[in-house]
């Protein structure tokens, strides 16, 4: 029989279990991180992570809890990246460090992921549609990284980022449940995305003729693989229709349904705000490749009983 003190020690570790949205005040790209911990307090401790310096959802290869401190590591680009965190009440407080690079160190805090009860059950009705791009200028948009300017241009009724490397665009307004219609065009090999509530990226990518993947066109980036590849050839205009209610997402690309009311389990790499229970902005990714948009229409989805 295990000693009582050891059992109590393991029981305390279970408080790390769950999904956490991480706020990182000095993150270079102004992005939020996400952490999932399972099996704490048992020999089956495991975890998943979204955040710097990677982008995809990663299974954590090395994770442990010792003396009330959770730690995990990745080996990336030949260097060891380490995260350490402790519980203070219901909040995580922690540090991130890179072997041999003290300048890369960051502090972060974590809050448990919100419980979202809204369901896409047929009861949500469309409100008044809003054109997020007016065809003339960048009214209603701001840069993710104000210190670097905007870099996007409104020309000939289209919104474009010119080339890779400009900061993402973010709406000044925030939204909760909605349907979003986007018309876009990308060049060969290009890569962009649309962020929902500032947290979940629907990928835009030139994968014409390739198998569907979690990084492909219309995927919920690194989380939900499209049912089919519906991409058109680079240089052709494409349509993206997304519906989000609570944590349920539906994605239609070029009139083909790729994702049908699938559950979003947490943030993707594009996230700017980890507070999943609140309204958030629409994001257009600009730092990966040239992209053009000519229409971005958002229709709020309203419940007859009012806000839940």
Give the span between the Cα atoms of 22 and 6, in whole angstroms: 30
Give the span between the Cα atoms of 282 and 225, in whole angstroms: 21
Residues 289 and 181 in one domain: yes
Radius of gyration of the chain (CA): 21
Residues 130 and 71 in one domain: no
pLDDT in tens, 259-304: 999 999 999 999 999 999 999 999 999 877 889 999 999 999 998 7
Residues 139 and 92 in one domain: no
Give the span between the Cα atoms of 83 and 146, in whole angstroms: 28
Residues 108 and 79 in one domain: yes
- Comparing CA positions, the residue from 270, 241, 269, 271 lying closest to residue 253 is 241
Could you give the number of structural domains in the chain?
Answer: 2
pLDDT of res. 5:
40
Other beta carbons within 10 angstroms of residue 173's beta carbon come to 13
The mean per-residue pLDDT over the stretch 213-241 comes to: 97
Residues 131 and 274 in one domain: yes
Token pair listed for 51: 């955040």
Supply the range of the domain harboring residue 270: 125-302
What is the model's pTM? Answer: 0.92
Query: Does pLDDT of 1 surpass 70?
Result: no
Burial class (CB in 10 A: 0-12, 13-18, 19+), 188: exposed
pLDDT of res. 9:
46
Residues 147 and 225 in one domain: yes
* Percent of residues, the chain, with pLDDT higher than 70: 94
Residues 159 and 264 in one domain: yes
CATH number of domain containing 92: 2.40.128.20
Query: Do the beta carbons of residue 245 and residue 277 sit within 8 Å?
Result: no
117 belongs to a structural domain: no
Read off the pLDDT band of 73 (50, 70, 90). very high
Residues 175 and 50 in one domain: no
108 belongs to a structural domain: yes
Residues 159 and 220 in one domain: yes
118 belongs to a structural domain: no
CATH number of domain containing 216: 2.60.120.560
pLDDT of res. 254:
98
| Domain limit, last residue, from 85, 112, 139 | 112
Residues 164 and 231 in one domain: yes
Beta bridge partners of 283: 170, 195
Peptide bond into 53 cis (omega under 30): yes
């Amino acid at each position: 029989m295990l000693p009582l003190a050891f059992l109590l020690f393991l029981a305390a570790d279970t408080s790390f279990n769950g999904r956490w949205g991480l706020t990182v005040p000095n993150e270079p790209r102004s992005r939020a991180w996400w952490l999932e911990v399972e099996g704490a307090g048992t020999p089956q401790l495991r975890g998943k992570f979204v955040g710097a310096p990677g982008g995809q959802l990663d299974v954590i290869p090395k994770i442990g809890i010792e003396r009330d401190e959770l730690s995990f590591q990745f080996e990336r680009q030949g260097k060891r990246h380490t995260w350490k965190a402790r519980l203070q009440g219901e909040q995580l407080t922690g540090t991130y460090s890179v072997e041999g690079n003290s300048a890369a160190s960051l502090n972060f805090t974590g809050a448990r992921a919100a419980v979202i009860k809204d369901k896409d059950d047929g009861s949500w009705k469309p409100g008044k549609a809003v054109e997020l791009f007016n065809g003339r200028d960048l009214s209603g948009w701001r840069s993710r990284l104000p210190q670097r300017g905007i870099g996007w241009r409104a020309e000939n009724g289209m919104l474009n980022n010119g080339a890779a490397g400009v900061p993402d665009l973010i709406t000044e307004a925030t939204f909760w449940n909605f349907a979003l219609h986007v018309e876009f065009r990308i060049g060969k090999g290009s890569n962009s995305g649309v962020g929902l509530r500032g947290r979940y990226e629907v990928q835009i990518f030139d994968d014409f003729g390739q198998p569907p993947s979690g990084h492909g066109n219309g995927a919920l980036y690194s989380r939900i693989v499209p049912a089919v590849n519906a991409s058109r050839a680079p240089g052709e205009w494409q349509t993206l229709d997304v519906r989000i209610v609570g944590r349920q997402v539906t994605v239609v690309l070029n009139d083909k349904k790729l994702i049908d009311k699938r559950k979003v389990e947490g943030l993707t790499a594009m996230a700017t705000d980890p507070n999943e229970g609140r309204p958030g902005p629409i994001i257009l990714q600009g730092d990966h490749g040239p992209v053009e948009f000519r229409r971005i229409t958002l229709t709020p989805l309203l419940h007859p009983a009012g806000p839940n």
